[in-house]
């Protein structure tokens, strides 16, 4: 039998929180994560709008204990198979990579024209339900292509508690459904992805430097503000981790993003909690999103096939 002192030490150790930093939930605690994707939001453009205070809600999130990283990329130089993550700078492969942590061919999607359904069990949603069936999952998107969300997400459909898509360019319905998700599951662990197609739509139709491209980014920023306000109203502002990013960039002054240029591959990521993406020693790739989310939920990153990217979470110890 252990001595009283030894037992006291063990009790004390059991009460110590696990590795945690600056407001990150410790393992075993309620974890709620919202990923916001602004489709086709070029890094330099978003940076310039932040600098001119045109995105006040994103700015407030970053300034209020969050972090902005301008070093995220689609991890490839030529967007060719075998070169890094090896997929093109298009929505379907990018979203497939974001929700699996895999590049091509593991994500089954090379380009919008060459894209299938994810392999069974490889989406973060399926892995999350296997880890803990009580985690609520949602994918709400205002972008619809022949490859997205179907067939990419077909295999993951049963692992999504809420799946919805429309073509509301404003993203208003995406925000409203996001708010409904938060209201419904505020007491549960959850992962919610809100994918706004508006910037991509305006970039293609009016160009990257158009007034309409600016306007839709400001509208999407307003949506972020509504989400943050609701989290604050529900007392969830501290506990819920927001991650905001883009699926791909946009070519400077142009109406496309498929050339695999720097402006296409360069991404950015912002979080409401600096520590959630604070591991600056890890390269920030689009495929880092899945291991980062796994880390936040306390899920093992030791998956098959193995992740190629590291988690961006900075644990304290």
- Positions that interact with Zn ion (CB under 5 A): 39-40, 91, 200, 247
Among residues 39 and 214, whose Cβ is nearest to Zn ion? 39
Give the torsion through C-alpha atoms of 80, 122, 112, 206, to 10 deg.
-100
Query: Interhelix angle for 56-63 vs 43-51, to 10°?
Result: 80
Among residues 82 and 253, whose Cβ is nearest to Zn ion? 253
Query: Are residues 93 and 115 in contact, defined by beta-carbon separation less than 8 angstroms?
Result: yes
We find the least distance from the C-beta atom of residue 249 to Zn ion, in angstroms, to be 9
Closest alpha carbon to 20 in 186, 227, 309, 239: 239
Q: Which residues contact 302 (CB under 8 A, 6 or more apart)?
A: none
We find the least distance from the C-beta atom of residue 208 to Zn ion, in angstroms, to be 11
We find the least distance from the C-beta atom of residue 97 to Zn ion, in angstroms, to be 12
DSSP assignment of 48-70: HHHHTT--HHHHHHHHTT-EEES
Determine the Cα angle at 237 with ends 246 and 215, to 5°.
40
Query: Are residues 67 and 278 in contact, defined by beta-carbon separation less than 8 angstroms?
Result: yes
Among residues 250 and 307, whose Cβ is nearest to Zn ion? 250
We find the least distance from the C-beta atom of residue 199 to Zn ion, in angstroms, to be 8
Q: Which residue is nearest to Zn ion (CB)?
A: 91
CA distance 276 to 57: 18
Query: Are residues 55 and 49 in contact, defined by beta-carbon separation less than 8 angstroms?
Result: yes
Question: What CA–CA distances, in Å, run from 144 to 49, 192, 197, 214?
Answer: 26, 18, 8, 21
Among residues 247 and 251, whose Cβ is nearest to Zn ion? 247
We find the least distance from the C-beta atom of residue 113 to Zn ion, in angstroms, to be 13
CA distance 79 to 293: 25
Among residues 97 and 241, whose Cβ is nearest to Zn ion? 97
Among residues 39 and 126, whose Cβ is nearest to Zn ion? 39
We find the least distance from the C-beta atom of residue 168 to Zn ion, in angstroms, to be 16
Classify 220 as helix, strand or coil. Answer: helix
Among residues 84 and 203, whose Cβ is nearest to Zn ion? 203
We find the least distance from the C-beta atom of residue 266 to Zn ion, in angstroms, to be 14
């Amino acid at each position: 039998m252990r001595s009283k002192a030894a037992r006291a030490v063990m009790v004390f150790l059991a009460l110590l929180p696990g590795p945690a930093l600056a407001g990150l939930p410790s393992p075993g605690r309620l974890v709620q994560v919202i990923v916001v994707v602004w489709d086709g939001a070029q890094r330099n453009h978003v940076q310039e709008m932040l600098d001119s205070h045109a995105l006040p809600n994103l700015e407030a999130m970053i300034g209020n204990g969050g972090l902005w990283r301008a070093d995220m990329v689609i991890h490839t130089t030529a967007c060719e198979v075998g070169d890094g993550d090896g997929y093109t700078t298009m929505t379907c492969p990018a979203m497939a990579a974001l929700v699996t942590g895999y590049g091509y061919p593991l994500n089954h999607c090379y380009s919008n024209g060459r894209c299938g359904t994810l392999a069974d069990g490889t989406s973060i949603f399926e892995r999350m339900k296997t880890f803990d069936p009580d985690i609520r999952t949602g994918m709400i998107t205002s972008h619809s292509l022949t490859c997205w969300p179907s067939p990419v997400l077909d295999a993951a459909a049963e692992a999504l508690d809420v799946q919805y898509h429309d073509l509301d360019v404003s993203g208003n319905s995406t925000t409203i459904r996001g708010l409904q998700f938060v209201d419904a599951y505020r007491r549960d662990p959850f992962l919610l992805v809100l994918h706004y197609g508006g910037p991509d739509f305006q970039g293609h139709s009016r160009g990257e430097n158009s007034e309409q491209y600016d306007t839709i980014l400001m509208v999407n920023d307003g949506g972020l503000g509504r989400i943050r306000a609701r989290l604050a109203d529900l007392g969830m502002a501290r506990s819920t981790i927001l991650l905001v990013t883009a699926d791909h960039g946009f070519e400077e002054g142009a109406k496309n993003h498929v050339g695999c240029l720097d402006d296409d591959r360069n991404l950015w990521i912002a979080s409401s909690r600096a520590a959630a993406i604070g591991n600056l020693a890890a390269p920030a790739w689009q495929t880092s999103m899945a291991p980062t989310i796994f880390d936040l939920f306390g899920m093992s990153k030791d998956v098959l096939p193995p992740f190629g990217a590291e988690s961006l979470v900075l644990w304290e110890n």
